[in-house]
Every structure is written in C-alpha cells, then in structure tokens.
Amino acid sequence: MIDSFGSRLPLARASIDRDHLSRTLGLEAVLADPRARVLVLHDRKVLLAGPARIALLEAARAPAFELGLYLGRSIDDEPDLPLGAPIVALVVDETTAAEMDTAALDNGEPESDAALWGDLRLLGADLSVRDAGLFTEALALANWHASYAFSPRTGHPSIPDAAGWTRRDAETGAELFPRTDAAIIVGITDDDDRLLLGSNALWESNRFSLLAGFVEPGESLEAAVLREVFEESGVRVVDPVYKGSQPWPFPASLMVGFRARVAPGSSTEGRPDGDEILELRWFSRDELAAANAAGEIRLPGTTSIARAIIDDWYGGELPDGGRW
C-alpha cells in the first residue's frame, strides 16, 4: 500500500515481478518464451506506442541490439502483455534506432515522429504504473552498464552476465554488481512555515528547487541532511523527517526525501555556497503560487520527488512551472 505522499512519486511505482531466479537462465532462454515482450531503449529514451505508452514488441520482432536486460515478468494479464510474460529491455545503436519506424509498432502509430521516443524525465508522471516501473528499471540498469565497461578493480574489460544483472571481469571472472548512489533532498521550513528554495549553478537563473546532495561514506541519511543544507545554504536545520524515496536514474541515484525545520535561534538569512547554489529564496504559499503563475520562477517537473515535496508542503498541486 502506497501512502498519500508515496502516490505523488511517479518513479517509485511498479507493477512487475522482478523474478531474480530467471536471471541465471540467461537472456536467450528468457527470450525463447513465446510470451516474451521487449521494450527498446536508445540514447536514454524508450520506444513509444503512443503519447504516454511504452511499445512492447513480441520477441520475434525484436531489433538487433547491443545490450539485453531482463526486467522481470508481468503480474497482470493485459492486451499488450500476457500474464507471466518475461519482459526484456534492448539497448540499440543509432542505426537501428533510425530504422525503428511506426511500421514496427503493434499498437497504432504515434501522433508524430517527435513522439516516437520518450524521455523519462518528461513522461514519468504520465505513464501507467507498469510502464513507469519498467522504464525506470531499464534506464537505471542500462546507465550502470554504460559506466562499467571496464572493471574498476583491475581495469580489464567487463562483459554482461546474468541476463544483464551483473558484469563479469573478462580476465579474472570476478562479478560486478549494479550500484545506486544515495542522495537526500529536503523541504526546509522556518517558523513562519515558509519554504526554502535554491537555484543551482547548472540551471537557468529562474529555476528553483529544493536543496539536495549525495550521502558521503560512513554517513547516515539524517546526518547528510544537516550537512548538505548547511554547506549549500548556511542554514542550520534540525529534526529531519523521512517522507519517501524515489529512484532517479539520471544516471544512478536513489533520492531520499525529507522535511526539516530551521534550528531554534538560528538565522534564516541564507548564504549560497556560490558553487552549486547561486541564489536562495524563502516563499510563503501565496508567494510561491504567484511567482510560479507569473513565470517569475520555474519549478521542478511533476516526475521529480522535489516537486512532490513542494506540492505536499503547499497542500495541493501547483500548476506546472516548467518540466525537466
């Protein structure tokens, strides 16, 4: 059961049996199942069968691929995916992607060429529970493979194994396992229940979001909240309260969401670190709604946990101020 806040997290949704036991059978055995379906990835995008629907092709119609990733089995019986069907993500190269036209799809034609490939950042909130889970899992796993073509232990080339769930050192045989980087993200409020937002140096100047950062080795999530907030803003906070988590495969993060409040007696005058954060602003609910509606600021898109925490504090859904 997902709580009311959890329901705001599009990429935390899933409707699939990851079926870890079948991974040892290998990709060929999985694809030999007559029920098998494949989704196609290229350049971190997925082939679509409609504006917000992943194309699931029969294995016999699968294109040539560079990498295959076994995602699991269907737990529902649906028109495009039989109950118990294995699902494999296929990563294809530029040439193959260019050949994937509307004739390859089972479920109708996309509205335009631009709709053929979908970006998870933009589509995550619009996808079904099943498709959001499949896309998130496939992209996270594909990104890991792209980063580990060589063993970090020996420098030897590594090759995919276990239907895409490990890589193996080609010379020593040592296994490499997928990794996920933990990061915290925090909704900070003061005594007047205003929300602190910052503008990152990598964004356009009017885009604002919550403060966030990676967890360091030997550090708890709660300690990371206190440290990251102070490093980026100069604001001391206390009482970090866990809200929820969501994978963020851009390329390999697990975003762990918190709420925290300014420490009693501490100043609310922000001091941007000047490196990651260039500007800090406190917003009341009315101020944030007005700034967003006027286009004065742009908020994170509805796929992100940042937006979920902002909307949760606001008490409802703010109109979209610009997707990412």
Q: Tens digits of per-residue pLDDT, 171-214?
A: 999 999 999 999 999 999 999 999 999 999 988 889 999 999 99
Alpha-carbon gap, residue 270 to 233, rounded angstroms: 5
Longest dimension (CA), the chain: 66
CA 240 vs CA 15, 186, 258, 262: distances in Å: 30, 8, 6, 10
Q: Are residues 128 and 194 in the same domain?
A: no
Q: Are residues 138 and 216 in the same domain?
A: no
Q: Which residues are bridge partners to 261 per DSSP?
A: 189, 238
Residue 162 forms part of a structural domain? no
Residue 102 forms part of a structural domain? yes
Asked if 61 and 104 touch (Cβ cutoff 8 Å), the reply is yes
pTM of the model: 0.92
Give the model's pLDDT for residue 320.
66
Q: Any idea what the CATH number is for the domain that residue 209 is in? A: 3.90.79.10
Q: Are residues 31 and 138 in the same domain?
A: yes
Backbone dihedral region for residue 155 (phi beyond 0: left; psi -120 to 50: alpha; all else: beta): left
Domain, as residue range, for 78: 6-147
Is a pLDDT exceeding 90 seen at residue 105?
Answer: no
The counts of H helices and E strands in the chain are 7, 17
For the chain, helix, strand, coil in percent to 5 are 30, 30, 40
How many domains does one find in the chain? Answer: 2
Give the model's pLDDT for residue 101.
61
Is a pLDDT exceeding 70 seen at residue 110?
Answer: no
Q: Are residues 278 and 200 in the same domain?
A: yes
Angle formed at CA 82 by CA 99 and CA 42, multiple of 5 degrees: 25
